[in-house]
Structures are given as C-alpha cells and as structure tokens.
C-alpha cells in the first residue's frame, strides 16, 4: 500500500471515531464509546505508518484538513448540523490548502 492509502484509512477511521464521539454521550453509551476507542486506535496506527514515508507536517495538514471537512459532512447527515456561510467558506479554504500541498509541494511523496 502507498502512504496515501494508509492516510485515507487513517482519515476514515478518524471521521468514524469523531462522529461516534458525539453519539457516545460523554462515554455513557457502550457501543459508540467502543467505536470511538477502536476508531482512534486504528487512526493512529495507520497514521504512524504514513509517517514512515511522508513528512509529518504535510501528512498532518492533509489528515486534519480532510478530517474537518468530512466530519462536517458526516455531522450534517447524522446530526443535522449545517454549517453557515463563513464556516463553508473556511472549509473551502482548507480544501484549497490541501490541494495546494498535494499538487505543488516538493516535500510530499508522490
């Protein structure tokens, strides 16, 4: 697998874990709490593999940027939490930054 595949897995598990965190209701509900713990464990496992070949700053920027947007989309679907215009513009800027890093940075592994 490539670093990007592992990074994708880390992001997916982080989105699932973060979404379950709200559902855990302060860790008072067992199943969502288990999803949180296992999801974050998988997230950090896959992210640690990414860091073997990708610079930590670049990997973290991609992970956080895409995680923010995907958690927002997930919370729109699951919890009906729709961001306002400034939040949407901000997330657009975050995605733009991730694209700039991926397409123009010389520090990234392709």
Domain ranges of the chain: 3-104
pLDDT of residue 102: 79
Number of H helices, E strands in the chain: 4, 0
- Specify the pLDDT at position 105: 78
The model's pLDDT over 31-86, given as tens digits with 9 standing for 90+, comes to: 999 999 999 999 999 999 999 999 898 899 899 999 999 999 999 999 999 999 99
Residues 86 and 82: their CA atoms lie apart, in Å, by 12
The structure's pTM equals 0.87
Q: Annotate 78-90 with b (16+ C-beta within 10 A) or e (fewer).
A: eeeeeeeeeeeee
Does residue 65 contact residue 95 with C-beta atoms inside 8 Å?
yes
Over residues 99-109, mean pLDDT: 77
What residues contact 39, with CB distance under 8 A and at least 6 apart? Answer: 13, 14, 16, 17, 18, 20
């Amino acid at each position: 697998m490539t670093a990007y595949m592992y990074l994708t897995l880390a992001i997916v598990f982080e989105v699932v874990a973060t979404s379950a965190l709200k559902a855990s209701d302060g860790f008072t509900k067992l199943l969502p709490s288990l999803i949180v713990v296992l999801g974050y464990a998988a997230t950090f496992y896959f992210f640690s593999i990414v860091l073997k070949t990708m610079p930590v700053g670049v990997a973290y920027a991609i992970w956080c940027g895409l995680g923010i947007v995907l958690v927002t989309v997930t919370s729109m679907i699951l919890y009906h939490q729709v961001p306002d215009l400034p939040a949407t513009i901000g997330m657009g800027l975050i995605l733009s930054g991730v694209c700039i890093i991926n397409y123009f940075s010389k520090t990234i592994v392709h």
